[in-house]
Amino acid sequence: MLYASRYLRLMDPFMTGPDVQYVQNRLRELGFYTGPADGVYGPATQQGVLRAQQSFGLLADGIVGPDTYNALGLSPTDEVTLAPEYLITIDTERLQLRLSRMGQPAGTFPVAVGAPNTPTPLGDWKIIQKTLNPGGAFGARWMRLNCPWGGYGIHGTDNEASIGSAVSHGCVRLHNSDVIKLYDLVSLGTRVKIIGNAFTGRLLYIGVDPGSDVVRVQQILQLLGYYRGDLDGYYGPLTEAAVLQFQRDQGITSDGVVGPQTYDRLQLANDRALGDRRP
C-alpha cells in the first residue's frame, strides 16, 4: 500500500541496525549530529533528526520516514562505480533472488520480501553499503540499496521460517547461510534489479470503487479507534468521517481523501500501535 521502509524512531528498547547507522552518518555529514554512528536510535539521534527536520521545513517529529529520508538524501560517498561482474535480480512474485555473473547463472536463493502493505521497491538499484554481522533482525549480513526514500537492503534474518513469504517492511531477507555466500561474492556497486508487482494504493475518496486498499485503511482506522464500521472495502460516509478525524488529529490536510501523506501517517500510526520494528 505504501513504499516505506521501517520508521526509525525512539522506542523502548532502542531501535538498532545498520539503517540507523546510515542515518547517523548522514546527519553527521550534514552537521545535525555529533554523536557516535553506533546504530542505536537513542535520544541524541532523535535530536539530530529533529534538527534536520526543522532545517528542511518538515514536520519535526523525530521519526525517519520517507520524507525525512528524501530530505537527508544519499551520501556523496555512495557514488560508487557500477560493478559489472554480477547482477542480482529479485523477483517479488516468485520470492526468489537470482545471481548472474557476466550474464551466466551463478546461483538462486529463496527470499522474503515486503508485505503487501509495505512492498519491496521495484526498480534498478545498486549496493552502496555492506555490513558484517549487523545482528538482530538483520542477521549475518547487510547490503544497503541506493533507494533515496528509505533504508532498504538485502540482509539475513533472525526468523529463518519467514523466508519464502511476503512479510517484511520492504527489505529482502535471505537465509543467513545464503546471505553470507552472496555477500562474499558481490562488491559495492553491484547492480540489483527488483521485479514483480507492487500495489501502493489508489487515491481514496467517496465514490471510488471498492477494493483491498480501502479494507486496509479501514483496518488501520479500526485498530486506532477511529472506525467502527464493517471491513467491507467500501469508501462511504463512515470511512470518510474516520479519515477526516484522523487527518485532523494528525495536523494534516483534512479533506477526507486518502493520498500519499495520509497513507504515510496511517502506516506510521499502525506501526507505532503495534510496536512494529521489523526491517
The distance in angstroms from the start CA to the end CA of the chain is 16
Distance CA 271, CA 6 (A): 8
Q: How far is 268 from 236, CA to CA, in rounded Å?
A: 24
Q: What is the pLDDT of residues 20-72, one digit of tens each?
A: 999 999 999 999 999 999 999 999 999 999 999 999 999 999 999 999 999 99
Catalytic residue selected from 147, 169, 171, 175: 171
Domains and CATH numbers, the chain: 15-77 (1.10.101.10), 78-195 (2.40.440.10), 212-258 (1.10.101.10)
Q: How far apart are CA 20 and CA 130, in angstroms?
A: 14
Q: Which of 147, 155, 169, 175 is catalytic?
A: 155
Q: Is 169 a catalytic residue?
A: no
Which tens digits make up the pLDDT trace of 60-73?
Answer: 999 999 999 999 99
155 classed as catalytic: yes
Query: Which residue, 62, 54, 81, 58, is CA-closest to 70?
Result: 58
Q: What is the DSSP string of 102-145?
A: TTEEEEEEEEEEE-TTSPPPPEEEEEEEEEE---GGGTTEEEEE
pTM over the 0.75 mark: yes
Q: CA 189 to CA 129: how far, in whole Å? A: 9
